[in-house]
Amino acid sequence: MTVPKICGIETEYGIIHNGVEDSNPVVASSLLINSYLVEMARSGEGGPAVGVSWDFEDEMPGNDIRGITPLDSLAPEVETHLVNSVLTNGSRYYVDHAHPELSTPECSNALDVTLYDKAAELILIRSMEAAANVLPPEQELVVYKNNSDGKGNSYGCHENYLMSRDTPFAQIVTHTTAHLVTRQIFTGSGKVGSEAPAMSTGDVPFQITQRADFFEEEVGLETTLRRPIINTRDEPHADALRYRRLHVITGDANMSEIATFLKVGSTAIVLAMIEDDVLPREHRFASPVQAMRQVSYDVSLTQPLELADGTTATALEIQWDLLDQARKYANSHGLDSVGGEIAETVIERWEQVLTLLESEPMSLADQLDWIAKYQLLQGLSQRHGLSPTDARLRTLDIQYHDLRPHKSVAARVGLQTLLTTEQAKVAIANPPSDTRAYFRGQCLKRWSSNIVSANWDSLVFDLGEDCLRRMPLADPNQGAASHVDDLLAGCESATELLQRFSKSN
């Protein structure tokens, strides 16, 4: 049976330090985040939990969901010496692998994930401005929300979904692969050229996604080398007997809110259908890795993909099938586990987008990143008579993702929105109200001077006693406003909170 699809996004941003020779991305990322933390503490606007660091107690990125760790797998290293902060909206903002990274709080639905992803953009913009205040005038930090530098280096935008431990992993692999490969037609952010081995811009002038070039395995533990379509990192950040966390690493970072909303919303529904075992048909690819690239390289959206049973299907056909199953699932099981009414709007949008992808794809230039970018590239090419390898096209590609408002191309193309900037500003300092992120965020807002460290599933308090006190938050569903507001309202201090907490447990 399905469990509530608590979900979130973690984005590694590209960063450039202008005005210095031999810039160091780790230093630049640290400077960016520290500038933000200092400025927000000074201005008193709220956001960072001052003095609270990330707690690595439960980080086990080497655990493999399959139960065994192949000897040739390289588990990601946990870097504890770099900037690592916790925000009062329940997010984590830190330096990872030479990139600034922001992980949204746990959310109960795709719209909240979109909201916190947008809040994250505002935080990164504010960080660039804060850094500008401390850097000499000739220097500047610039942040890009993309996934590749066009030279074979990729950095991720990962999604996380809470899943039931009861669901057999093999069942997750086949159906999820079918969705991850074919959803690219609306999740892609578009890219000029190819970074796959032995491919060039001559072979692939433009492709739908930033990431497809970088997947070499079907299933595996790595995230930085030989990336797999299905990642097996088994680190639930929750009760491991009941839950797993599916770590999806195939997605592009999206500038379009619609694309983020559909990406997370459709995937949550597909995963719920897998858990409830309602998908009648398997779309098993003859070669998933090849299919991943075929879909990304095919802007006509018509190429048949070879299936293991000898038949073929296009990405659109497989998406129509998944959508049809989602409609039936909504009728038979309801959508409470995936966000209720919000999931209904996911299904409506999903259908509208597939319909237009099939009939007039270019009309989605105000909804999907790859189409917005493709239209601009074509327009610029025609206007100036550019060859497919002209540097101006790559410049446009990169600059689409520039987060500086005065330089961002995405900010100029008239993308439809689902949320207002005001809503996103509120989300910078306030957690979602219906997951454990609420409890974490409220505690950080009220008692950060008593909290030493925090992570996804616990808070560590210093009450001035001999030892520190760890408060476990093992269930991502618990800690919502409806559960804890009375408790929080009745506590004057962190000491009181812990006293009440230990009485009730």
Beta strands in 55-109 (DSSP E): 84-87, 92-96, 99-103
Among 133, 151, 464, 482, binds another protein (CB under 8 A): 151
Considering only residues 34-93, where is the footprint of another protein by CB under 8 A? 76
φ and ψ of 480, to 5 deg: -70, 160
- Where does this chain touch another protein (CB under 8 A) — which range of 63-71, 86-94, 96-104, 253-261? 96-104
Question: Given the complex with another protein, which of 401 and 440 has the nearer CB atom?
Answer: 401
Site string for another protein, 99-138 (x = CB under 8 A): x---------------------------------------
Give the DSSP H/E element, type plus range, for residue 387: none
Contact flag: residue 394 with another protein (CB under 8 A): yes
Contact flag: residue 409 with another protein (CB under 8 A): yes
**Residues 363 and 356: beta-carbon distance below 8 Å:** yes
State the DSSP code for 307. Answer: B
Among 221, 396, 443, 471, binds another protein (CB under 8 A): 396
Q: How far apart are the first and last CA of the chain?
A: 27
State the DSSP code for 85. Answer: E
Among 155, 161, 261, 329, binds another protein (CB under 8 A): 155
Q: Which of 176, 173, 147, 181 is nearest to 295 (CA)?
A: 181
- DSSP output for 127-174: HHHHHHHHS-TT-EEEEE--SB-SSS-B--EEEEEEEETTS-HHHHHH
- Where does this chain touch another protein (CB under 8 A) — which range of 40-48, 85-93, 405-413, 487-495? 405-413
**Residues 219 and 174: beta-carbon distance below 8 Å:** no
Among 277, 412, 470, 499, binds another protein (CB under 8 A): 412
Question: Given the complex with another protein, which of 314 and 448 has the nearer CB atom?
Answer: 314
Question: Given the complex with another protein, which of 404 and 446 has the nearer CB atom?
Answer: 404
Considering only residues 355-374, where is the footprint of another protein by CB under 8 A? 355
Show the tokens assigned to 228.
């797999």
Contact flag: residue 391 with another protein (CB under 8 A): yes
**Residues 132 and 482: beta-carbon distance below 8 Å:** no
Among 15, 274, 289, 353, binds another protein (CB under 8 A): 15
- Buried b / exposed e over 277-294, threshold 16 CB at 10 Å, is eebeeebebeebbebbbb
Contact flag: residue 379 with another protein (CB under 8 A): yes
Q: Which residues does the annotation mark as catalytic?
A: 96
In angstroms, what is the minimal distance from the CB of 158 to another protein?
7
Burial class (CB in 10 A: 0-12, 13-18, 19+), 369: buried
In angstroms, what is the minimal distance from the CB of 381 to another protein?
10
**Residues 142 and 131: beta-carbon distance below 8 Å:** no
In angstroms, what is the minimal distance from the CB of 434 to another protein?
28
Which amino acid, 332? S
Question: What is d(CA 109, CA 337) in angstroms, rounded to the nearest whole number?
Answer: 9
- Return the CA Rg of the chain: 22
Contact flag: residue 224 with another protein (CB under 8 A): yes
Question: What is d(CA 133, CA 129) in angstroms, rounded to the nearest whole number?
Answer: 7
Question: Given the complex with another protein, which of 63 and 224 has the nearer CB atom?
Answer: 224
In angstroms, what is the minimal distance from the CB of 97 to another protein?
4
Question: Given the complex with another protein, which of 192 and 295 has the nearer CB atom?
Answer: 192
Contact flag: residue 282 with another protein (CB under 8 A): no
Contact flag: residue 154 with another protein (CB under 8 A): yes
Q: Which of 157, 126, 158, 124 is nearest to 143 (CA)?
A: 124
DSSP SS3 for 273: helix
Burial class (CB in 10 A: 0-12, 13-18, 19+), 140: middle
Count of residues in the chain: 505
**Residues 179 and 321: beta-carbon distance below 8 Å:** no
Considering only residues 302-341, where is the footprint of another protein by CB under 8 A? 313, 317, 320-321, 323-325, 327
In angstroms, what is the minimal distance from the CB of 272 to another protein?
18
Question: What is d(CA 336, CA 2) in angstroms, rounded to the nearest whole number?
Answer: 10
Question: Given the complex with another protein, which of 149 and 276 has the nearer CB atom?
Answer: 149
How many CB atoms neighbour CB 442 within 10 A?
21
Question: Given the complex with another protein, which of 377 and 443 has the nearer CB atom?
Answer: 377
# of chain residues touching another protein (CB under 8 A): 52
Site string for another protein, 230-249 (x = CB under 8 A): -------------------x
Question: Given the complex with another protein, which of 116 and 320 has the nearer CB atom?
Answer: 320
Contact flag: residue 494 with another protein (CB under 8 A): no
φ and ψ of 443, to 5 deg: -65, -40
Contact flag: residue 447 with another protein (CB under 8 A): no
Among 375, 417, 477, 478, binds another protein (CB under 8 A): 375
Within its chain, how far is the Cα of 91 from the centroid? 12
Question: Given the complex with another protein, which of 247 and 436 has the nearer CB atom?
Answer: 247
Question: Given the complex with another protein, which of 127 and 154 has the nearer CB atom?
Answer: 154
In angstroms, what is the minimal distance from the CB of 380 to another protein?
6
Name the site residues for another protein (rule: CB under 8 A).
12, 14-16, 25, 76, 96-99, 148-156, 158, 223-224, 249, 313, 317, 320-321, 323-325, 327, 351, 355, 375-376, 379-380, 383, 390-392, 394-396, 398-399, 406-407, 409, 412-414
